[in-house]
Amino acid sequence: MSITRHFSDTRTDTGRVRILIRAGLVLLHAEGAGWHHSSQHGSLQDAALELAMLPEVGPELYARALSDLERQLERDGQAPDEPYSGAA
């Protein structure tokens, strides 16, 4: 059984970015008015790069999403592509 872990959820007036972790994969979901993007990545860095290349994601949403990811990493003390050792 694969458990999906919500890692971060960023919202601004222009869109939303969610990062989820499932079975060692980083799932990127981004959306805004009239657009939606979903992709799977092997690492948080790859997901952040993909997010940076999406033309619909403006600088404010991107900066906020990265800030939320950094805050979550500081809190958890581990990268999301490492096995999660928390309670299931």
CATH code: domain of residue 23? 3.30.67
Q: What are 4-43's pLDDT values in tens digits?
A: 889 999 999 999 999 999 988 999 999 999 999 999 999 9
- Output the pLDDT for position 81: 47
- Phi and psi dihedrals of 54, rounded to 5? -75, 120
Counting the structural domains of the chain, the total is 1
pTM listed for this prediction: 0.84
In a domain, 84, yes or no: no
- 32 or 76: which carries more pLDDT confidence? 32
- Output the pLDDT for position 21: 92
3-state secondary structure of 46: helix
Distances in Å between the Cα of 37 and the Cα atoms of 3, 50, 71 are: 21, 10, 23
Q: What is the mean pLDDT of the chain?
A: 88
In a domain, 19, yes or no: yes
Averaged pLDDT for residues 67-75: 91
